[in-house]
């Protein structure tokens, strides 16, 4: 249909526009990293405790850190252009492999956290709006305000203290039991058990946001004329809410969730650190400390691509949900 | 004597902040058109919503609204829902916002058919196309899949009307159906409503603030002021011999009528003051704006006086015969 062709056009245009955006991001990231004091050789020397000027110069030459910055940049861009993210001397692995290992667990964490947040946030927001100014609304408003204002790492720590340390129900870190040799259903359950705490502590903040936005959106939509038209048809209150109110109130929430999908990596750094979750966030954090620029640039490049793709998905989903939006 | 199709008696609508409708009443027979006229804020919409059972939750309605002899106000919500949209339907004032923006026109019309007539979605769609044709929407088989934002205000109002008449109601409440539309389209929509009333044998409550349209479309006119009935008459009587000072003011302020009826020169007269000016006073709500105030007017609202021929006036000057034909 016409609409499908328009969607394909949007995808193609987004990908074309991504090229200059990514290039700009590369320049910016590269410049920022070069401005940071110290390089990989400094860090390695500090870790070894004793390094001579000669070994450091040798390391720099080996990593290409002795070349002029522009030279380094052009070499990096050349690398990217040939679809290589370079090599990490620290991990002794190609950066692409390293990211390939870490990306799935991070995506798992992000997508589960956002899914939990959307489902619970929408449900809570709906419950609040349908009971507006009565006690369920008041109690949930306070609860969501707490979730909203307490930092994620603290919630994570408290969850660990409660469910891992005190009750011993759930593991306190990692993404799977290492060396347990689990297979099949057991392995899946083991993964889920590891996922619950980090995904929940990442989700709580977003639950609060979605619940509050959903509540406001429902109240706004409920006051609109077309809801009265729907009621005048004599359909049940449940149909009015589901078919007319919720469908419209979901529009702002999905928009925001899409934007969060692109930006959630930032929140993942903290949660991955608290829960020693072997994902991209922690990889990025460690690469900063180690001045492992190839890895860091790779992660940043990937997350900017993630933002671009997430934005495109938001556009498409919105156009699909809201017929008033014309795809151009 | 058979009871009227709808008989509203002693209807009051109360909010915690006040009572915008007080002891209001009128009746409508099968197939009849009754116009309810009054300026903005007189309680017309609340009366319509009370008939539909769609008042805001904070509002309390008392009195009786007898539809085919059954008091709607005494019915449980479930039974009211079975009547709503099927036997009693409503058309709203704002066509631009009265339709769900994320649902196709066909599904919005079909929804009411599926609810009350249990149609499948295919059958509801086919009926929606017929209904679009009935309300004179061009290319109904194309429009049925359109979303409301693709349609003009007049087209949207036709869709709202299609929704309202989908189940062939015996009573249609039209709350200022043309106020938001261009003048040229107003006449088309009123024509459409009148034709549907005839073809579908509906009674029509036509709510308006424009006395200018009642002469052509209504069998009877009820003038409403500050939640009460000020006057009731046939349009011919009312336009030729308005009695209540408020009706006379409305007439003088109506461009088409004052020019045509009186060949008046000069500017239109405006009724001085606002409808809110007597709020909280014990007497007639029109006192602050009336130039014929009697001492009794300040004590209590004047009762409705029967003048014969079904004519009712809530004003002491109605008792003075020469006043009735003096204007
Ligand atoms: N939800 C509400 N809460 C409190 N007062 C209301 C509400 N809706 C209407 N009113 C009051 O009722 C009066 C009459 O309203 P309405 O029936 O809409 O008048 P009309 O349709 O004749 O213009 C308004 O002037 C307002 O003061
Ligand atoms: Mg109104």
3-state secondary structure B73-116: HHCCHHHHHHHECCCEEEECCCCCCCCCCCCCHHHHHHHHHHHH
Residue B43 Cα, ligand 1 centroid: separation in angstroms?
A: 6
The confidence band for A309, taking pLDDT boundaries of 50, 70 and 90, is: confident
Q: What is the dihedral of CA B158, B163, B167, B172, to 10 degrees?
A: -70
Query: Left, alpha or beta for A284 (phi > 0: left; psi -120 to 50: alpha)?
Result: alpha
For residue A236, the chain B residues in CB contact (below 8 A) are: 81
With respect to residue B242, please indicate whether it lies within any of the assigned structural domains.
yes
Measured between CA atoms, the residue of chain B closest to residue A249 is B102
For residue A28, what pLDDT is reported?
86
**Protein residue with its CA nearest to atom 25 in ligand 1:** B41
Using N-to-C axis directions, what is the helix angle for A95-130 and A247-274, rounded to 10°?
130
d(Cα B180, Cα B160) in Å, to the nearest integer?
A: 14
Are the beta carbons of B101 and A234 separated by less than 8 Å?
A: no
d(Cα A148, Cα A146) in Å, to the nearest integer?
A: 5
Per domain, the residue ranges of chain A are: 13-84, 102-321
Residue A75 Cα, ligand 2 centroid: separation in angstroms?
A: 72
Mean pLDDT of B233-241: 91
For residue B279, what pLDDT is reported?
66
Using the atom order of ligand 1, give the atom closest to the CA of residue B47: 17
Angle at A247 between CA A243 and CA A253, to 5 degrees: 155
B153 and B181 co-located in one domain: no
Highest mean pLDDT among A185-189, A260-264, B126-130, B242-246: B126-130
Nearest-CA distance A323 → chain B (Å): 6
d(Cα B69, Cα B7) in Å, to the nearest integer?
A: 8
B134 and B265 co-located in one domain: no
The CB of B85 under 6 Å from ligand 1? The reply is no
With respect to residue B312, please indicate whether it lies within any of the assigned structural domains.
yes
For the stretch A214-252, pLDDT in tens is: 999 999 999 999 999 999 999 999 999 999 999 999 999
**Final residue of a structural domain among B113, B139, B161:** B161
Measured between CA atoms, the residue of chain A closest to residue B89 is A232
> Which 3 state secondary structure label does DSSP give A266?
helix
For residue B92, the chain A residues in CB contact (below 8 A) are: 225, 228-229, 232
The CB of B20 under 6 Å from ligand 1? The reply is yes
Measured between CA atoms, the residue of chain A closest to residue B169 is A233
d(Cα B162, Cα B107) in Å, to the nearest integer?
A: 12
Residue B251 Cα to chain centre, angstroms: 18
d(Cα A4, Cα B150) in Å, to the nearest integer?
A: 19
**Final residue of a structural domain among B161, B180, B200:** B161
Among the listed residues B52, B114, B79, the one whose alpha carbon sits nearest the alpha carbon of residue A231: B52
Nearest-CA distance A277 → chain B (Å): 41
For residue B115, what pLDDT is reported?
95
The confidence band for B13, taking pLDDT boundaries of 50, 70 and 90, is: very high
Query: Regarding predicted confidence, which is higher, A202 or B161?
Result: B161
Nearest-CA distance A67 → chain B (Å): 59
For residue B160, the chain A residues in CB contact (below 8 A) are: 229
Residue B179 Cα, ligand 2 centroid: separation in angstroms?
A: 10
Q: Which of 227-256 (A) contact B at CB < 8 A?
A: 228-236, 239, 243-244, 247-248, 251
Are the beta carbons of A233 and B90 separated by less than 8 Å?
A: no
Nearest-CA distance B115 → chain A (Å): 6
Using the atom order of ligand 1, give the atom closest to the CA of residue B175: 21
For residue B327, what pLDDT is reported?
44
d(Cα A207, Cα A200) in Å, to the nearest integer?
A: 9
- A77 has pLDDT over 90: no
Nearest-CA distance B159 → chain A (Å): 11
- Using an 8 Å Cβ cutoff, are A276 and A328 in contact? no
With respect to residue B127, please indicate whether it lies within any of the assigned structural domains.
yes
- Using an 8 Å Cβ cutoff, are A202 and A269 in contact? no
pTM (2 decimals)? 0.84
Using N-to-C axis directions, what is the helix angle for B105-117 and B153-165, rounded to 10°?
10
Residue B41 Cα, ligand 1 centroid: separation in angstroms?
A: 6
**Protein residue with its CA nearest to atom 17 in ligand 1:** B43
Among the listed residues A157, A155, A176, A154, the one whose alpha carbon sits nearest the alpha carbon of residue A165: A157
Among the listed residues B86, B76, B90, B81, the one whose alpha carbon sits nearest the alpha carbon of residue B117: B86
For residue B277, what pLDDT is reported?
65
- Using an 8 Å Cβ cutoff, are B91 and B169 in contact? no
Averaged pLDDT of chain A = 85
Angle at B100 between CA B47 and CA A138, to 5 degrees: 75
- Using an 8 Å Cβ cutoff, are B232 and B221 in contact? yes
For the stretch B51-79, pLDDT in tens is: 999 999 899 999 999 999 999 999 999 99
Measured between CA atoms, the residue of chain B closest to residue A245 is B100
B109 and B51 co-located in one domain: no
CATH of domain A102-321: 1.10.3720.10
List, as ranges, residues with CB under 5 A of the ion ligand 2.
B 45
Nearest beta carbon to residue A322 from set B86, B102, B160: B102
Among the listed residues B42, B45, B93, the one whose alpha carbon sits nearest the alpha carbon of residue B274: B42
Q: Which of 285-304 (B) contact A at CB < 8 A?
A: none
Is A62 in CB contact (< 8 Å) with chain B? Answer: no
Overall number of domains in chain B: 2
Which region among A21-30, A58-67, B120-129 has the lowest average model confidence (pLDDT)?
A58-67
User: Radius of gyration over alpha carbons of chain A, in Å?
Assistant: 24
With respect to residue B1, please indicate whether it lies within any of the assigned structural domains.
no
**Residue whose tokens read 């130039």:** B291
For residue A219, what pLDDT is reported?
96
Residue B43 Cα, ligand 2 centroid: separation in angstroms?
A: 7
Per DSSP bridges, beta strands B203-208 and B33-37 are: parallel
For residue A152, what pLDDT is reported?
78
- Domain extent, residue B133, equals 102-161
Mean pLDDT of B212-224: 91
Burial of B267: CB neighbours in 10 Å, binned 0-12, 13-18, 19+: exposed
- Using an 8 Å Cβ cutoff, are A75 and A67 in contact? yes
Percent of chain A whose pLDDT exceeds 70: 98
Backbone CA torsion sign across A199, A204, A209, A215: positive
Mean pLDDT of B167-192: 94
d(Cα A16, Cα A278) in Å, to the nearest integer?
A: 33
d(Cα A279, Cα B253) in Å, to the nearest integer?
A: 75
- Using an 8 Å Cβ cutoff, are B59 and B15 in contact? yes
For residue B100, the chain A residues in CB contact (below 8 A) are: 226, 229-230, 244, 247-248
The residue to mutate among B36, B43, B227, B229, having the most atoms of ligand 1 within 8 angstroms of its beta carbon, is: B43
For residue B268, what pLDDT is reported?
63
For residue A321, the chain B residues in CB contact (below 8 A) are: 102
B134 and B74 co-located in one domain: no
Mean pLDDT of B282-288: 86
The CB of B227 under 6 Å from ligand 1? The reply is no
Is B201 in CB contact (< 8 Å) with chain A? Answer: no
Among the listed residues B111, B120, B196, the one whose alpha carbon sits nearest the alpha carbon of residue B161: B196
Residue A262 Cα, ligand 2 centroid: separation in angstroms?
A: 46
- Using an 8 Å Cβ cutoff, are A323 and B147 in contact? yes
d(Cα B36, Cα B177) in Å, to the nearest integer?
A: 12
Q: Which long-range contacts (CB under 8 A, 24 or more apart) does B141-144 make?
A: B143/B105, B144/B104, B144/B105, B144/B106, B144/B109
- B215 has pLDDT over 70: yes
d(Cα B214, Cα B94) in Å, to the nearest integer?
A: 20
Averaged pLDDT of chain B = 89
Highest mean pLDDT among A191-195, A298-302, A322-326, B105-109: B105-109
Are the beta carbons of B112 and A234 separated by less than 8 Å?
A: yes
B219 and B239 co-located in one domain: yes
* Run of H or E including B204: strand B203-208
B208 and B126 co-located in one domain: no
CATH value at residue B287: 3.40.50.300
Nearest beta carbon to residue B102 from set A233, A239, A248: A248
CB pairs under 8 A between A and B: 77
Q: Which of 27-86 (B) contact A at CB < 8 A?
A: 52, 54, 81-86
Burial of B138: CB neighbours in 10 Å, binned 0-12, 13-18, 19+: exposed
Q: What is the dihedral of CA B183, B187, B192, B195, to 10 degrees?
A: 170
Q: What is the DSSP string of A141-196?
A: HHHHHHHHHS-HHHHHHHHIIIIIIIS--S-SSSSS-TT----HHHHHHHHHHHHH
For residue A232, the chain B residues in CB contact (below 8 A) are: 52, 54, 84-85, 89-90, 92, 164
The CB of B44 under 6 Å from ligand 1? The reply is yes
The CB of B16 under 6 Å from ligand 1? The reply is no
B82 and B209 co-located in one domain: yes
The CB of B38 under 6 Å from ligand 1? The reply is yes
**Cα separation values, A54 from A42, A61, A164, B144, Å:** 13, 11, 49, 80
Using the atom order of ligand 1, give the atom closest to the CA of residue B20: 12
């Amino acid at each position: 249909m016409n609409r499908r062709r328009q969607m394909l056009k949007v995808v193609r245009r987004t990908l074309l526009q991504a090229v200059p955006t990514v290039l700009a991001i590369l320049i910016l990231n590269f410049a920022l990293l070069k401005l940071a004091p110290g390089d990989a050789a400094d860090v390695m020397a500090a870790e070894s405790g004793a390094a001579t000027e000669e070994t450091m110069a040798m390391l720099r030459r080996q990593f290409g850190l002795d070349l002029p910055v522009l030279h380094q940049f052009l070499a990096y861009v050349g690398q990217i252009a040939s679809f290589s993210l370079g090599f990490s001397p620290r991990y002794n692995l190609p950066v692409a492999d390293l990211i390939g290992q870490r990306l799935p667990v991070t995506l798992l964490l992000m997508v589960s956290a956002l899914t939990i947040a959307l489902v619970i946030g929408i449900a809570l927001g709906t419950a609040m709006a349908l009971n507006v100014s009565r006690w369920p609304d008041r109690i949930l408003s306070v609860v969501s305000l707490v979730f909203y204002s307490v930092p994620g790492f603290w919630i994570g720590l408290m969850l660990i203290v409660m469910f891992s340390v005190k009750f011993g129900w759930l593991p306190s870190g990692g993404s799977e039991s290492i060396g347990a040799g689990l297979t099949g259903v057991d392995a899946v359950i083991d993964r889920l058990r590891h996922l619950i705490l980090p995904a929940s502590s990442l989700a709580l903040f977003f639950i609060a946001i979605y619940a509050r936005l959903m509540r406001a959106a429902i109240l706004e939509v409920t006051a609109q004329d077309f809801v009265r038209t729907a009621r005048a048809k004599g359909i049940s209150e449940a149909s009015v809410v589901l078919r007319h109110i919720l469908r419209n109130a979901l529009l702002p929430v999905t928009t925001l969730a899409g934007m969060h999908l692109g930006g959630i990596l930032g929140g993942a750094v903290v949660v991955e650190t608290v829960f020693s979750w072997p994902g991209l966030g922690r990889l990025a954090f460690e690469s900063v400390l180690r001045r492992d620029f190839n890895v860091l640039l790779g992660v940043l490049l990937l997350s900017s691509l993630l933002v671009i793709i997430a934005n495109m998905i938001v556009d498409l989903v919105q156009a699909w949900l809201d017929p008033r939006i014309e795809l151009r | 004597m058979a009871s009227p199709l709808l008989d509203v008696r002693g209807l009051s609508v109360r909010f915690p902040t006040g009572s915008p409708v007080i002891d209001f009443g009128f009746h409508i027979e099968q197939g009849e058109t009754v116009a309810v006229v009054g300026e903005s804020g007189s309680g017309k919409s609340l009366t319509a919503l009370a008939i539909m059972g769609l008042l805001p939750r904070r509002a309390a309605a008392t009195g009786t609204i007898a539809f085919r002899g059954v008091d709607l106000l005494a019915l449980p919500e479930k039974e009211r829902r079975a009547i709503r949209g099927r036997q009693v339907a409503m058309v709203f004032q704002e066509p631009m916002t009265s339709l769900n923006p994320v649902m196709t026109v066909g599904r919005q019309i079909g929804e009411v058919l599926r609810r009350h007539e249990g149609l499948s979605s295919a059958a509801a769609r086919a009926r929606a196309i017929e209904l679009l044709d009935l309300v004179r929407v061009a290319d109904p088989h194309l429009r049925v899949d359109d979303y409301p934002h693709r349609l003009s205000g007049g087209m949207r109002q036709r869709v709202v009307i299609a929704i309202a008449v989908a189940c062939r109601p015996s009573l249609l409440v039209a709350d200022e159906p043309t106020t938001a539309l261009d003048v040229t389209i107003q006449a088309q929509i009123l024509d459409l409503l009148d034709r549907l009333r005839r073809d579908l044998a509906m009674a029509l409550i036509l709510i308006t603030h424009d006395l200018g349209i009642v002469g052509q479309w209504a069998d009877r006119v009820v003038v409403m002021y500050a939640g009460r009935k000020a006057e009731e008459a046939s349009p011919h009587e009312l336009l030729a011999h308005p009695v209540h000072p408020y009706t006379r003011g409305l007439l003088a302020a109506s461009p088409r009528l004052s020019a045509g009826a009186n060949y008046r020169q000069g500017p239109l007269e405006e009724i001085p003051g606002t409808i809110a000016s007597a709020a909280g006073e014990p007497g007639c709500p029109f006192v602050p704006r009336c130039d014929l105030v009697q001492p009794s007017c300040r004590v209590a609202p004047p009762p409705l006086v029967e003048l014969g021929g079904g004519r009712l006036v809530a004003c002491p000057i109605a008792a003075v015969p020469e006043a009735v034909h003096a204007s």
